[in-house]
Amino acid sequence: MYYVYFLKSVKHAFFYIGQTKDLKKRLNEHNLGMSQSTKHYAPFKLISYIAVNTRKQAEDLEKYLNSTSKCN
């Protein structure tokens, strides 16, 4: 199972959409500043996620959401 997830910064007006196989681990990495693209906006809260069967589905969905999103 893979997840496409939606994060919101607790302190800033910043949203992030990503994908992972381990949602808890990835959220922890974002909150510890281990992600280059989000480290300046931590901490985060998980807004929502979508579970899909394959990595390809997760990558395609993330790409689509990021291309149409006004969040980034």
Q: Which domains does the chain have, with CATH numbers?
A: 2-68 (3.40.1440.10)
Rounded to whole angstroms, the Cα distance separating 21 from 41 reads 22
Measured in degrees and rounded to the nearest 5, phi and psi for residue 56 equal -60, -45
pLDDT confidence of residue 69: 60
Q: Give the model confidence (pLDDT) of 2-11 as tens digits.
A: 999 999 999 9
**How confident is the model over 64-69, as a mean pLDDT?**
85
Q: Give the model confidence (pLDDT) of 15-63 as tens digits.
A: 999 999 999 999 999 999 999 999 999 999 999 999 999 999 999 999 9
Look at residue 65 and give its three-state secondary structure: helix
